[in-house]
Chain A
């Protein structure tokens, strides 16, 4: 039994370790990230029924908390441009997810990749193209999977097929796709920057300033400011 217990423990540690690092990137402190993970685990055991016919429920750990975080990240988005990019990203991702879901015949006998990984790749790539942003990857993946659940509710209306949004708790596709999408956007972004020899130098002054002193942080003023 030792091997089975160790396997489960190590897998959980790696998964939550990754999730913690991702939450770090989403305007949450180390402690905030940790509290959020604990809340997600506890929330996995709570389902909120939304409708009886068709049966629709919402899991706190697997859907409510990730959605709150996604909305929080969107609200913290600095500019209208970022908002527009996010919305376009969500629309594109939903369209692509829907198309791929219907086109890609995945079964024990068909398919080349696990769909859960595919959704994360789609969200990560769209987020990177739309905004070159890890945060956007999280928002797009979460909202994209939610949108697919809404499409599913519409598709199965009038039948006995339930829709348990986020019902997998911390192991739900919404959470796993979001975590993997951010990791992918990070790998694409960092690799691209590493290949081109660092961030591009012709970035606008405003962006440089915003990166030096992000809103809400108490970074020390730069030498330039001190001189002022």
Chain B
């Protein structure tokens, strides 16, 4: 009875918190607009500003491929150190393997590309909009981000690439938005796409995303890779490959790769990525032009065979870590649950013994049936 009372108190406490949440439901977007973190190195050189919630240990790959790590925080400043300069180019062996598979596939002789699945585009945060263009940063169920998706779709289709663009809304913009968009992503995966793109926009000062290409104002693109994700290595290599391909045509157009604390449904496949086209304070027209530039620059890696070896190596690394985690997990499980590793062999032979026992039993049954049959005939 005492326990039931405790449970009720516990429940009431949470219901109270819930009520407080309803009355103080401050939009996450509104919070982001007014809070920035400045990332600077130990000499005071500003690396970038971000609306991202930063903690020590976070990493950021800038447009120059410098990988930085946050070492300490002071008010709205994050002190970072340069970890290394990343090499985004694939190894020579990997490039040769790509070329070899291109010859073997027969595409070289026929000049035809194998029929591949389309590029699938969806929007987890379907409310995201651009103040210059939409008049607001958030439109419930039909944000300006849909038009950026349309621009991306048109640009791919101009290059002969089939696209499925899902405009399914996942509002409200809360923590469960990714659970809802996961359902859209799975529905899209049933159509066997080559690549899965989740298109967003950021919420930082406009100058961080502003760029000029072909004398026109465009927004840059930021790639986001989820760290709490079993496919991290594969997704990360995919992101690096996209960046490297775009850097060749438009250096600096990819703002950087941000490593977020989530998985953003990237566990659904190694060729799945989150893209941010500008900020809510950039104009929607610039974001649409940015989408067209991105489609033209990244089409070979998003749809073609280019970089297949590179992403493949990422998958192998993911595989290694998954197996390592599995071995550690099973080890800890045996240590806690089964009284240490001494019983591991016993458990294994026990399981096999069950099979043998079952086989013996079935053999015995067969024998008894055989014995019964002549008896019945008699």
Within 8 Å of chain A (Cβ to Cβ): is B303?
Answer: no
Chain A residue nearest to B30 in the complex (CB): A105
Size range of the chain A interface in the assembly: 35 or more
Within 8 Å of chain B (Cβ to Cβ): is A115?
Answer: yes
Please pick, from A102, A103, A167, A194, the residue contacting B183 in the complex, using a CB distance under 8 A.
Answer: A167
Within 8 Å of chain B (Cβ to Cβ): is A222?
Answer: no
Query: How distant is A5 from chain B, measured CB to nearest CB, in Å?
Result: 8
Bound state CA distance, A164 and B200, in angstroms? 22
Report whether A115 and B182 are in contact in the complex, using a CB–CB cutoff of 8 Å: no
- For A99, list chain B residues within 8 Å (CB): 14, 17-18, 21
Within 8 Å of chain A (Cβ to Cβ): is B162?
Answer: no
Report whether A109 and B202 are in contact in the complex, using a CB–CB cutoff of 8 Å: yes
Instruction: Identify the B interface with A (CB < 8 A).
Output: 4, 7-8, 10-11, 14-15, 17-18, 21-22, 25, 28, 31-32, 50-53, 55, 125, 140-142, 168-172, 174-176, 178-180, 182-187, 190, 200, 202-203, 224, 226, 228-231, 234, 258, 260-264, 267-271, 274, 276, 308, 311-316, 318-319, 322-323, 326, 336-337
Bound state CA distance, A148 and B174, in angstroms? 12
- For B226, list chain A residues within 8 Å (CB): 114
Please pick, from B141, B178, B224, B311, the residue contacting A115 in the complex, using a CB distance under 8 A.
Answer: B178
Query: How distant is B103 from chain A, measured CB to nearest CB, in Å?
Result: 15
Report whether A106 and B178 are in contact in the complex, using a CB–CB cutoff of 8 Å: yes
Interface stretch, picked from A7-15, A32-40, A66-74, A133-141, is A7-15
Top-4 shortest CB links A-B? A167-B183, A105-B28, A3-B315, A109-B52
Report whether B322 and A105 are in contact in the complex, using a CB–CB cutoff of 8 Å: no
Contacts known (A7-B234, A10-B319, A159-B140); A110 close to B11, Cβ less than 8 A = no
13 residue pairs from A and B, CB less than 8 Å apart: A2-B312, A7-B231, A7-B270, A7-B318, A104-B175, A106-B175, A108-B276, A112-B55, A115-B179, A160-B142, A161-B141, A172-B183, A172-B186
Report whether A109 and B171 are in contact in the complex, using a CB–CB cutoff of 8 Å: no
Query: How distant is B306 from chain A, measured CB to nearest CB, in Å?
Result: 14
- For B315, list chain A residues within 8 Å (CB): 3-4, 6-7
Within 8 Å of chain B (Cβ to Cβ): is A146?
Answer: no
Within 8 Å of chain B (Cβ to Cβ): is A28?
Answer: no
Within 8 Å of chain B (Cβ to Cβ): is A16?
Answer: no
Within 8 Å of chain B (Cβ to Cβ): is A56?
Answer: no
Interface centre among B172, B183, B319 (most CB of A within 10 A): B183
Chain A residue nearest to B312 in the complex (CB): A3
Report whether B174 and A4 are in contact in the complex, using a CB–CB cutoff of 8 Å: no
- For A45, list chain B residues within 8 Å (CB): 190
